[in-house]
Amino acid sequence: MERMIMLLAALLLALPLTAVEPDKGLFIVTTDYIKNGSAVLGDLIAEKEKRGFTVRVVTESDYGGVGDKGAARAAKIRDWLVANRAGYDFVLLIGDPSPKLGDVPMVLGQPQGDGVSDPCADTGYSCVKIPTDLYYGDLSGSWDLNGDGVLAQLPVDMGDGGIDFGSELAVGRIPVYFGDLDELDELLGHIVGYMQTSEEATAYRKKMLFPLSFIWFDGYKVFQTMHENKETAETAEWFIHNILPDHPGVTYTRLYEAEGHYPTQFDYEIPLTQENLVSEWEKGYGMVLWGGHGMPTGVVRTVWREDTNGNEQGENDEVDSPPLIDSTNGADIASGKPSFVVAISCLVGFVSDPGSITYRFMADGAAVGVISSSSVTDPSAMKWLDQDAPLDATTFGEDNSAVLFFDRMLDGGYAGRVFADIRDELGDETVFRVIDHKLMLNYFGDPSLTLYDHAVVEEPNDDDTVTDDDPPVNDDAVPADDTSGGCSIVI
């Protein structure tokens, strides 16, 4: 008997592991005003139902809190989700995201606690009060174990019964500002259009765009003096070397820094400028990873113009910051081929700014899903220049999460679920900056969308009726690749 058990165990270990299909239940948490006033929300729901999803729209009539704003409303929403989450794996938040005044708000997490010095105070933003939507995903414990009113405080809110960063619900957000239903409907229309695209027209989604800048040089000071030349293109090169060989048929275009005393050390297809990026992106790319210093409405390059003192250090007075991309470019890029975007940039997901680049790119149709930061972010600890190094899992940033996000999206994953799982897997060091990043990086867009969504043609039964025995339509499977070679380069 013991030998039989050992053989069975060995057999099970030898079987390939497969991802567990999530429950195809989607909550849409919004307000009565939006539910009753949106002309396109019903179209979005219909498209999800064609794909086998059960969709439930939830408003203050369900979760309560009429008249509440900010944290009080957020607590009501979360309590309702905790009580009703069985059979659901996704939640899409549609409403005003302001942590203080929003009707479907983000909440402020404070891993360092209250009353600590804020190194970003002079910028008008905070590095210690972090806007987050993870509050609606990690539902298994209390976010305020000690009851002091400070959420996500390290370590007191992360013991038994507290935050564990595992997301029972995969969260996505669509902001609504000033109650503008016309703009909301335009944004929802871009998502619906993405799902209604013919299968033949989805080929662009296996094209990747890498507009990646330097973020500092040896001698440059950002809070502290840096001691290396740091280029975000390092991440793309590691990705191309380690991940893309597993995805035949995927093509890519690189825009790297070509100017200055110390340009990129890598090969590239197009020099990195704002004009080049906009003109190339509008041709249609399914996945975009950009990198550069960010503020809510724009991202800049970092160019070491010249070494004026000859010391081979790129000090601040030798460095310029020309624009890389800004929130007005979304309308120029939009071509009916919206992208999934991961932004290696501070603050571009700062939801209290209605002109943020994340929001504008979605509203204008340049992006259909965005992972971006609500605060000031750092790279992970990964040493990308060592292309044979395993991926760092001790820390968590846009860079190491982007690598796994695009890998799993190419495998057919649901965007919000992929990101939620990555956040749980990465960053196993329980220190302030790791926890900060788990809060500040959020997914914007429909969390149940895939890279391979396309138009579903409903085929009724012979008797023109639909029965409960009919299996749900699932077009989320990865289509067969039409090539058998490795990566090719789009120029």
Write the pLDDT tens digit of every residue in 162-209. Answer: 998 899 999 999 999 999 999 999 999 999 999 999 999 999 999 999
Instruction: Summarize the confidence of residues 290-317 as an average pLDDT.
Output: 91
Sign (positive or negative) of CA dihedral 439, 441, 446, 452? negative
Instruction: Say whether pLDDT at 256 is over 80.
Output: yes
* More confident call, 467 vs 90: 90
**Going from the N-terminus, what domains does the chain have, and what CATH number goes with each?**
22-170 (no CATH), 201-445 (3.40.50.1460)
Residues 127, 128, 133, 135, Cα dihedral to 10°: 170
- What is the C-alpha end-to-end distance of the chain, expressed in Å? 63
Q: Does 15 have pLDDT greater than 90? A: no
Cα distance between residue 3 and residue 394, in whole Å = 39
Q: Is the pLDDT of residue 461 over 60?
A: no
Comparing CA positions, the residue from 382, 361, 381, 363 lying closest to residue 371 is 361
- Answer whether residue 476 shows pLDDT above 60: no
> Strand 293-295 and strand 298-300: pairing?
antiparallel
d(CA 152, CA 145): 9
Which segment of 70-84, 233-247, 373-387 scores lowest on mean pLDDT? 373-387
Structure tokens at 131: 């806007």
Sorting pLDDT into bands at 50, 70 and 90, what band is 334? very high
pLDDT score recorded for residue 255: 98
Give the C-alpha separation, 357 to 401, whole Å.
Answer: 20
Whether 488 and 251 have beta carbons less than 8 Å apart is answered as yes
Give the model's confidence band at 88: pLDDT under 50 very low, under 70 low, under 90 confident, else very high.
very high
Smallest CA-to-CA distance from 294 within 406, 133, 440, 112 is with 440
In Å, the largest CA–CA distance within the chain is 83
E strands along 83-184, which residues? Answer: 90-95, 107-109, 130-132, 170-175
Q: How far apart are CA 139 and CA 10, in angstroms?
A: 35
Residues near 108 by beta carbon (within 8 Å), at least 6 away in sequence: 71, 99, 129, 130, 131, 132, 151
What's the pLDDT at 250? 97
pLDDT above 90: percentage of residues in the chain: 75
Q: Three-state SS for 359?
A: helix
Residue 195 to residue 348: CA distance in whole angstroms: 26
Percent of the chain with pLDDT over 70: 89
The predicted model scores a pTM of 0.88
pLDDT band at 23 (very low <50, low <70, confident <90, very high): confident
pLDDT in tens, 437-447: 999 999 999 99
Rounded distance, CA 353 to CA 469, Å?
48
Cα separation, 80 vs 87, whole angstroms = 14
Q: pLDDT at position 249, please? A: 94
Q: Report how far residue 447's alpha carbon sits from residue 26's, in angstroms, rounded to the nearest whole number.
A: 9
Higher-confidence position of 480 and 456: 456
In tens, the pLDDT along 381-434 reads: 999 999 999 999 999 999 999 999 999 999 999 999 999 999 999 998 777 789
Question: Positive or negative CA dihedral for 123, 124, 128, 132?
Answer: negative
pLDDT for the residue numbered 325? 98
For the chain, give the number of residues.
491
Banded pLDDT at 472 (limits 50, 70, 90): very low
- In this prediction, residue 21 has a pLDDT band, given cuts at 50, 70 and 90, of low
CA distance 385 to 233: 10
Quick one: pLDDT band at residue 316, thresholds 50, 70, 90? confident
Determine the number of helices (DSSP H) and then strands (DSSP E) in the chain: 13, 23
Nearest CA to 359 out of 171, 132, 98, 175 is that of 175
pLDDT per position as a tens digit, 24-66: 999 999 999 999 999 999 999 999 999 999 999 999 999 998 9
Burial of 20 (0-12, 13-18, 19+ CB in 10 A): exposed
What is the per-residue pLDDT for 460?
A: 55
Mean per-residue pLDDT over the chain, rounded:
88
Q: pLDDT class for 100, splitting at 50, 70, 90?
A: very high
User: Binning pLDDT at 50, 70 and 90, where does residue 12 land?
Assistant: very low
